[in-house]
Amino acid sequence: MADLSVKIKDLDFKNPVMTASGTSGFAEELNDFYDVSKLGAVLLKGITLKNRDGNAYPRMAETASGMLNAVGLQNKGVDYFIQHIYPRIKDYDTHLIANVNGSTVEEYIEVTEKVNELERISAIELNISCPNVKEGGMLFGISCPGAEAVTREVRRVCTKTLIVKLSPNVTDITEIAKAVEGQGADSVSLVNTFLGMAIDAEKRIPLLSTITGGLSGPAIKPIALRMVWQAYHAVKIPIIGIGGIMNAADAIEFMLAGAAAVQVGTAIFKDPFIPLQIIDGIENYMKRHGLNSINDIVGKLAL
């Protein structure tokens, strides 16, 4: 039987299919559909130090083969997470990864320190790429000094596997990937959403309360795939591929381009079972192609 397991730093994952942050809640919502322990990992909804109400409604707009969102990291803060949510989800038999956010480096550090204490959180995904907040977020992720600074400081305190989530809204993704690798990131995940905009021509107003928002879904796949491929040739740490993955073929494309694992985001809104279908599809692909391990796929694009 095909072995779907993958290793990132010291963590062993059952399979390379994770659900992306902000698209799979705190795992409980998916568990209403199926046993989330079948997933490689669940990236939890982004958390911040303090409660955030997020942006005003409307927060989403449908676009061609994609959507814009402007959620703005709505969450009740890390303490609430620790007291009320973590106890409910900590026994899921999959890797739970915290998506850590901040307006300042200090906030990132404080959240990280608190998450350090949570035994059942396997890793931290440092979100330096959220386009939907006024302070922090993407601002860190679009310049090398910014990305370096927050990675360095968080790395100092972070006792868990550290994944840094990159923004695609940059001229050169390899620079940023190398910058965070240089500061001790164990892995990079990419991409977060592209900054986009939608307008109601008849009403002559933006469709999002924030005017601009983050574009996700199949529309962005070709660009995300290119960035993963570029990053794969620039850094040595494992890459987690994200962006418009809707089926097993998409996931395999990301792995061929160099991703050691993938995250499924917007596809979950179409059908929460898609991550499981992707796991099956990868297994099927490996059988058909006589591949024994995920390593036989990762970076194996023939040029």
Partner 1 sequence: MSLKEVQNLVIIENTPLNATNFLIRLVSIKPLPKFVPGQFVNVEINNSSEIFLRRPFSVFEINYSLNSISLIVKILGRGSKKLTEIKAGESVNLIFPLGKGFTFPIPNERILLIGGGSGVGPMLFLAKESGLNPDNVHLILGAKSFEDHINIDDYRQFGNFYFTTEDGSLGERGFVTQHSVFQNKLKTFDKIYACGPDAMMKAIAREAKKSNIFCEVSLENLMACGFGVCLCCIEPTVRGNLCVCTEGPVFNINDLKWQI
Binding site for partner 1 (CB under 8 A): 22-25, 29-30, 32-34, 45, 51, 53-54, 57-67, 69, 71, 74, 76, 217-218, 266, 268-273
Residues that bind a second copy (rule: CB under 8 A) add up to a total of: 46
- The one of ligand FMN, partner 1, a second copy, none whose footprint includes residue 127, by CB under 5 to 8 A per kind, is ligand FMN
86 binds a second copy (CB under 8 A): no
- In whole angstroms, what is the distance from residue 173 CA to residue 290 CA? 33
Tokens of 86: 């973590």
Per CB under 6 A, residues contacting ligand FMN are 20-23, 45-46, 69, 71, 73, 99, 127, 130, 165, 192-193, 216-217, 220, 242-245, 264-267
Q: Please check whether residue 282 is in contact with residue 15, taking contact to mean a CB–CB distance below 8 angstroms.
A: yes
**Scanning residues 48 to 67, which ones bind a second copy (CB under 8 A)?**
63-66
Tell me, residue by residue from 153 to 182, as one string, x for binding to a second copy by CB under 8 A and - for no binding: ----------------xxx-----------
Q: What is the C-alpha R_g of the chain?
A: 18
Burial code (b: 16+ CB inside 10 Å, e: under 16) for 118-155 equals beebbbbbbbbbbbbbeebbbbbbbeeebbbbbbbbbb
Burial of 288 per CB tally in 10 Å (0-12, 13-18, 19+): exposed
158 has catalytic annotation:
no
Exposure class string for 229-247: b at 16+ Cβ within 10 A, else e: bbbbebbebbbbbbbbbbe
Q: How far is the CB of 267 from ligand FMN (least distance, A)?
A: 6
* Phi–psi pair at 262, nearest 5 degrees: -135, 160
* Residues of the shown chain interacting with a second copy in the complex, contacts defined by CB under 8 A: 63-66, 68, 142-143, 169-171, 194-199, 201-206, 211-212, 215, 217-223, 225-226, 229, 244, 249, 252-253, 256-257, 285, 300-303
Q: Which residues are catalytic?
A: 130
